[in-house]
Amino acid sequence: MARLILLRHLESQWNKENRFTGWTDVPLSKEGIESAKEVAGKLAGFEIDKVYTSPLIRNKETVRLILENLNKKDLPIIINKALDERNYGELQGLNKDEMKEKYGEEQVRLWRRSWDIAPPKGESLEDVYNRVVPFFREYIEKDLKQGKNILVVASHNSLRALAKYIEKISDEDIVNFEIPPGGIKEYEI
156 is catalytic: no
Q: Which residues contact 63 (CB under 8 A, 6 or more apart)?
A: 51, 53, 77, 153
Active site residue 101: no
Active-site pick, 61, 85, 123, 141: 85
Q: Which of 9, 11, 61, 156 is catalytic?
A: 9
Catalytic residues: 9, 85
